[in-house]
Chain A
Amino acid sequence: MNPLLSLIDTTIQKSLRSINTSQFERFHTYAKKVRSIDWADPGYTRIPLILEGISAAANLRGHLLLPKLQKITWRSIRWCSLINIQHLLLSNPRHVTLICDYNKKFIHFASDEEKDSFLAIMETIASTSNLSTLSLEGLCLLDGAMAAEVLETLCHPCSTIQKLSIDYPRTTFHPLILGQMPKLSTLEISLDTKLKVHCSSNHLDIKEEKEPFKSLSSLFVHRSSIEPTDYLLGLIRSENMHSVRILLEDASPSGLSTLLPHAYKWSKLKSLDIMQACQTPLFWPMSIIRPLYDSCPVMEELQVSGHVVDMVDEDVVAIARSWSHLRVLRLSEKARRSSLAKYPPKFTLYGLQALLNGCRTLSDLFLFMDTSTIPDTAGLQRRAGSSGTTIGISRGPNVLGLNPERWKAYLREMEEQNYHIDAAFLFEL
Chain B
Amino acid sequence: MPFVLEIYELARQIASYLSTADALALAKTCRSTSNPALDELWMDLASFKPLLALLPPAFLNLQGEALSVSIVCT
Chain A residues in the interface with B (C-beta under 8 A) = 2, 4-5, 8, 11-12, 15-16, 19, 23, 26-27, 30-31, 33-39, 42-47, 50-51, 54
Contact with A along B37-74 (1 / 0, CB 8 A): 01100111111101110111011001101110111011
Which residue of chain B has its CB nearest to the CB of A40? B47
**Interface centre among A19, A47, A51, by most B CB within 10 Å?**
A47
Contact B74 A30 (CB under 8 A): no
Contact B54 A27 (CB under 8 A): yes
Contact B44 A15 (CB under 8 A): no
Q: How far is the CA of A46 from the CA of B65 in the complex (A)?
A: 10
Q: Specify which chain B residues have a CB less than 8 angstroms from the CB of A38 in the assembled complex.
A: 44-47
Contact B42 A34 (CB under 8 A): yes
Chain B residues in the interface with A (C-beta under 8 A) = 38-39, 42-48, 50-52, 54-56, 58-59, 62-63, 65-67, 69-71, 73-74
- CB B74 to nearest CB in A, in angstroms, measures 5
- CB B11 to nearest CB in A, in angstroms, measures 15
Q: Specify which chain A residues have a CB less than 8 angstroms from the CB of B42 in the assembled complex.
A: 30, 33-34
Residue in B44, B47, B67, B74 whose CB lies within 8 Å of A35:
B44
Contact A37 B62 (CB under 8 A): no
Contact A5 B73 (CB under 8 A): yes
Q: How far is the CA of A36 from the CA of B39 in the complex (A)?
A: 12
Q: How far is the CA of A47 from the CA of B59 in the complex (A)?
A: 12
Which residue of chain B has its CB nearest to the CB of A48? B48
Q: Specify which chain A residues have a CB less than 8 angstroms from the CB of B74 in the assembled complex.
A: 42-45
Known contacts A19-B55, A31-B51, A45-B66; A36/B73 CB under 8 A: no
Which residue of chain B has its CB nearest to the CB of A66? B51
Q: How far is the CA of A50 from the CA of B65 in the complex (A)?
A: 13
Contact B55 A23 (CB under 8 A): yes
Q: How far is the CA of A2 from the CA of B62 in the complex (A)?
A: 17
Contact B55 A11 (CB under 8 A): no
Contact B51 A30 (CB under 8 A): yes
Contact B73 A44 (CB under 8 A): yes
Q: List 15 A-B contacts (CB under 8 A).
A: A11-B62, A12-B62, A15-B59, A19-B55, A23-B55, A31-B51, A33-B39, A34-B43, A35-B43, A36-B45, A39-B45, A43-B74, A44-B73, A45-B66, A54-B55
